[in-house]
Amino acid sequence: MIHIANPVHRYQKLWLAIGYALVALVIYLTASSHPPDSGIDLPNFDKVMHALAYFVLMGWFAQLYHVKKHRIIYALAFVFMGIALEIVQSFDPARSAELADMVANTSGVLLAFLMTRTPALRRVLKKIETFI
């Protein structure tokens, strides 16, 4: 069995700060009574944005944590965060909770979880560090 360790990044603290800032941004946009309007009026575009947001979150932290246990913890945390924030929206008269948003959030997490298991997408931040 191959043992995979978490990579050591030169800018680990910066990458973590950016990651947690992304988490805070998603929480703010989800919990805000008046989130910014993209102005794009396509069917189910908001579902694509939900999936993309959670794809970015999971994809970012999957760059920092390669140990399977750590990745699963982050994946579960993001899935539960997506569900919890949708429930929070149900308490805001200006917003509504949607099961489809929960599914989109979870889909984004799962897609990133799977895609970042590939060698090409597992080490994006390491590649960026070689250019800096």
pTM for this entry: 0.91
The predicted pLDDT at position 44 comes to: 86
Q: Is residue 88 part of a domain?
A: yes
The predicted pLDDT at position 35 comes to: 80
Helices (H) and strands (E) in the chain, counts: 6, 0
- Name the phi and psi angles at 63, rounded to 5: -70, -30
Q: Whole-number mean pLDDT of the chain?
A: 92
What are the structure tokens assigned to 56, written together?
């970015």
Counting as low any pLDDT under 50, the low residues of the chain are none
Q: Is residue 119 part of a domain?
A: yes
Structural domain containing residue 86: 49-132
The predicted pLDDT at position 3 comes to: 61
Q: Is residue 9 part of a domain?
A: no
SS3 38: coil
Q: Is residue 39 part of a domain?
A: no
How many angstroms separate the CA atoms of 64 and 102, rounded?
25
Q: Please list, residue by residue across 26-65, b when 16 or more beta carbons sit within 10 angstroms of its beta carbon and e when fewer do.
A: beeebeeeeeeeeeeeeeeeebebbbebbbbbbbbbbbbb
Name the domain count of the chain.
Answer: 1
Q: Is residue 95 part of a domain?
A: yes
